[in-house]
Amino acid sequence: QKEVEQNSGPLSVPEGAIASLNCTYSDRGSQSFFWYRQYSGKSPELIMFIYSNGDKEDGRFTAQLNKASQYVSLLIRDSQPSDSATYLCAAALNTGFQKLVFGTGTRLLVSP
> Which residues sit at the interface with other proteins, rule CB under 8 A?
8, 32, 34, 42-46, 49, 88, 92, 97-100, 102-105
The Cα 23–Cα 47 span in angstroms is: 15
Residue 29 DSSP class = T
Least Cβ distance, residue 55 to other proteins (angstroms): 19
Least Cβ distance, residue 38 to other proteins (angstroms): 9
**44 C-beta neighbours (distance < 10 Å), count:** 18
Least Cβ distance, residue 83 to other proteins (angstroms): 19
Cβ-based nearer residue to other proteins, 31 or 111: 31
Residues 6+ apart with CB under 8 A from 69: none
Cβ-based nearer residue to other proteins, 17 or 100: 100
First and final C-alpha spacing in the chain: 40
Cβ-based nearer residue to other proteins, 43 or 69: 43
Cβ-based nearer residue to other proteins, 8 or 53: 8
The Cα 45–Cα 29 span in angstroms is: 25
